[in-house]
């Protein structure tokens, strides 16, 4: 399955089972570095713009420090309204919180993707495939495995998911939610090398369960001077590289070097 087909399947999956953030029931949670504009109806002098501190707080007039980190904008509105009302400053405060800038909750998408960079998690319940889509999906030479690295419960968290398998009837629970500070990485896909009496010698992407005959076909097949009897495979085994003889229906491995000899008859 090609990456193009994977992302088409991803679009269908979103519409079919509701992985889209548009269907999320919860709100975005505020994080350190975010910029908030807070206003109170009929109290323009209380309008403020504040950047959330590393401790997850902002200072609001009359109320003082307000814990906003980990809360939704609606919860922040309720907390500020409660402070204004309990302090006797505003009888029935109607507070509005607007998220001006997202900095605290960002995910990094790196490696073999079309648009590597940091992306804000502007909605809740963003999952691995959602974050990968922010980065434009994997490039043609990107591997099928996505590695997620982050912090969970104070310890380093590492998780790998096979995207192709996920969209081919795999366990959708592996499409886990990402959090601010997480890093998604796609490494280069495994390759093999082919040279000698083939039409197009070079480096090729290793497909799943690829056999020797399929590998030769990717290289355009043998030349008129090439011979199947002269096909040798160099393979690394531990610290040693040795030559092995494979039948045409045996599978090749990553970094195999296939050499097709010239026939002398």
The CA angle 160-163-165, to the nearest 5 degrees, is 100
What does the pLDDT read at residue 235?
95
**In terms of domains, do 251 and 228 share one?**
yes
Give me the numbers of helices (H) and strands (E) for the chain, helices first please. Answer: 5, 15
**In terms of domains, do 115 and 155 share one?**
yes
Whether residue 125 lies inside any domain: the answer is: yes
pLDDT band at 152 (very low <50, low <70, confident <90, very high): confident
Question: What is the spatial distance between Cα 135 and Cα 204, in angstroms, rounded to a whole number?
Answer: 24
Contact between residue 60 and residue 48 where contact means Cβ atoms under 8 Å apart: yes
Q: What Å distances lie between residue 20 and 31, 85, 127, 180, 185, CA to CA?
A: 22, 38, 9, 18, 21
Compute the average pLDDT of residues 20-47.
78
Burial 228-240 (b: 16+ CB within 10 A, else e): eebbebebeeeee
pLDDT band at 113 (very low <50, low <70, confident <90, very high): very high
113 lies in which domain range? 105-186
Whether residue 126 lies inside any domain: the answer is: yes
pLDDT tens across 238-255, in order?
888 899 999 999 999 999
Helix, strand, or coil (residue 24) = coil
The contacts of residue 54 (CB under 8 Å, 6+ apart) are: 32
Compute the average pLDDT of residues 21-31.
59
**In terms of domains, do 88 and 70 share one?**
yes
Quote the number of domains for the chain. 3
Contact between residue 211 and residue 252 where contact means Cβ atoms under 8 Å apart: yes
pLDDT at 24 over 50: no
CATH number at residue 92: 3.30.1950.10
How far is C-alpha 132 from the geometric centre of its chain's CA atoms? 3
Contact between residue 112 and residue 188 where contact means Cβ atoms under 8 Å apart: yes
What does the pLDDT read at residue 107?
93
At 214, phi and psi to the nearest 5? -70, -40
> Which of 101, 123, 151 is the C-terminal boundary of a domain?
101
> Which of 186, 219, 244 is the C-terminal boundary of a domain?
186
Whether residue 153 lies inside any domain: the answer is: yes
The contacts of residue 133 (CB under 8 Å, 6+ apart) are: 7, 10
**In terms of domains, do 124 and 170 share one?**
yes
Helix, strand, or coil (residue 213) = helix
**In terms of domains, do 97 and 110 share one?**
no
CATH number at residue 222: 3.10.560.10
Compute the average pLDDT of residues 33-47.
94
pTM: 0.67
Question: What is the spatial distance between Cα 235 and Cα 38, in angstroms, rounded to a whole number?
Answer: 64
> Which of 148, 163, 186 is the C-terminal boundary of a domain?
186
pLDDT at 192 over 90: yes
Greater confidence (198 vs 26) lies with 198
pLDDT band at 3 (very low <50, low <70, confident <90, very high): low
What does the pLDDT read at residue 265?
61
**In terms of domains, do 230 and 206 share one?**
yes
Q: What Å distances lie between residue 171 and 59, 124, 157, 165, 174, CA to CA?
A: 45, 21, 20, 8, 6
């Amino acid at each position: 399955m090609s990456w193009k087909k994977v992302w088409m399947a991803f679009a269908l999956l979103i519409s079919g089972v509701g992985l889209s953030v548009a269907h999320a029931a919860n709100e975005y949670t505020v994080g350190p570095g975010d910029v908030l504009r807070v206003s109170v109806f009929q109290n323009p002098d209380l309008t403020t713009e504040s950047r959330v501190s590393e401790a997850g707080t902002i200072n609001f007039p009359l109320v003082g420090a307000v814990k906003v980190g980990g809360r939704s904008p609606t919860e922040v509105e309720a907390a500020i309204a409660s402070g204004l009302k309990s302090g006797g400053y505003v009888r029935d405060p109607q507070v509005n919180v607007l998220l001006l800038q997202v900095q605290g909750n960002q995910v990094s998408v790196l490696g073999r993707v079309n648009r590597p960079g940091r992306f804000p998690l502007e909605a809740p319940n963003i999952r691995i495939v959602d974050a990968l889509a922010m980065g434009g999906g994997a490039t043609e030479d990107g591997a099928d495995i996505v590695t997620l690295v982050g912090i969970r419960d104070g310890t380093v968290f590492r998780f790998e998911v096979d995207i192709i398998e996920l969209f081919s009837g795999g366990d959708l629970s592996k499409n886990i939610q990402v959090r601010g500070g997480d890093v998604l990485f796609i490494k280069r896909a495994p390759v093999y090398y082919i040279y000698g009496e083939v039409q197009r010698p070079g480096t090729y992407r290793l497909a799943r369960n690829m056999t020797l005959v399929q590998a030769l076909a990717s290289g355009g097949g043998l030349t008129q001077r090439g011979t199947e009897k002269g096909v040798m495979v160099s393979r690394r085994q531990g610290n040693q590289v040795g030559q092995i003889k494979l039948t045409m229906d045996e599978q090749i491995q990553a970094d195999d070097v296939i050499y097709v000899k010239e026939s002398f008859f």
